[in-house]
Amino acid sequence: MTGSHTAAVYVSADIEGCATLVHWDEVRPGSGREYERARRLLVAEVNAALEGAFAGGAQSAWVNDAHSSMRNLVTDGVDPRATLVSGRGKPGYMLEGIDGQDGAVAFFVGYHGAIGDRDAVMAHTYSPRVIWECRLWGRPVGELTINAALAAAFDVPVALVSGDSTTCEEARASVPWAQRVETKRSLSYYAAECDSPHDVRAALRAAAHTALARRAELQLFPLPRPIVLEVDTLRTSQADAIARLPGFQRPAARTVSFSGDDMREVYRALVALITMGTAAEA
């Protein structure tokens, strides 16, 4: 990234990693007070990151609502300088729109630990109804690492990651050049020692500003070829259905795999896997 100019900041906004959130009833879309509070926390954390980015010289911003129904961010609550993409069924899923952001850096806000990570709050990988474990090149990974790999396919480095302590550990291993904002320290699947939302927002502003100031140090997530994706499904019936998709292999009863030289193709296969695995249990 030496000598590059950052024209845009791309924000992928999840929610489980936001400050003080520790249970599914807080993050499942609905009319409950818990979810409404979570939505406010998410908007505030996204806006804090945007404020720091614009103060640090960003010229434009794109925010992709990446959680569940992908309609969590209240439209008129997001910083008006940013473009918001909302709604599910997006081809790019958690990174919809990143392909059009020339010179961009990526912020992953409100991210969470992978399924199987010890003690990670609400740990899962994309779909807890389908995915038991997800691996790249044989190594267990979470959404953060897979999304960083897709961003790299579009020449976009990850510059900032926020989430619980487990998420920050994954970021340290996968994208060590990125700024990290820890929102809480995981104690169990449903418990954490939580920083105040006020302090988290302040940390996000500072980290976003620093990320742009140090953009020349950013790197792309490495993508050795072939890119091998393996997923252990929750049930054999899901593996039955997914194995019928073109390009998939089935090396074990609950394991399906896909290999390719283009991370964009591999990511499309992952989205198809999630869709088919969900449909198999409908």
Give residue-wise pLDDT tens across range 213-271: 999 999 999 999 999 999 999 999 999 999 999 999 999 999 999 999 999 999 999 99
How high is the pLDDT of residue 2? 36
Find residue 64's DSSP bridge partners.
12, 85
The C-alpha R_g of the chain, in whole angstroms, comes to: 18
Question: Could you tell me the domains of the chain?
Answer: 8-126+143-217 (3.40.50.10780), 227-280 (3.30.1360.130)
How high is the pLDDT of residue 179? 98
How high is the pLDDT of residue 6? 59
How high is the pLDDT of residue 1? 45
Segments of the chain scoring below 50 in pLDDT: 1-4
Residues 261 and 227 sit within 8 Å (Cβ to Cβ):
yes
Q: How far apart are the first and last CA of the chain?
A: 45
Q: What is the pTM of this model?
A: 0.96
Which amino acid belongs to residue 238? Q
* CA pair distance 220, 254, nearest whole angstrom: 32
Alpha helices in the chain, H assignment, sequence order: 24-27, 33-55, 143-153, 165-174, 197-213, 236-242, 263-280
Which amino acid belongs to residue 282? A
How high is the pLDDT of residue 3? 40
Residue 258: CB atoms within 10 A of its CB come to 24
Find residue 85's DSSP bridge partners.
64
What is the helix (H) or strand (E) element at residue 146, kind and residue range?
A: helix 143-153
How high is the pLDDT of residue 98? 95
**How many residues are recorded in the chain?**
282
Residues 12 and 101 sit within 8 Å (Cβ to Cβ):
no
How high is the pLDDT of residue 103? 86
In the 8-state DSSP scheme, what is residue 282? -
**Cα-to-chain-centroid distance, residue 76:** 23
What residues are annotated to the active site?
124
* CA pair distance 94, 104, nearest whole angstrom: 16
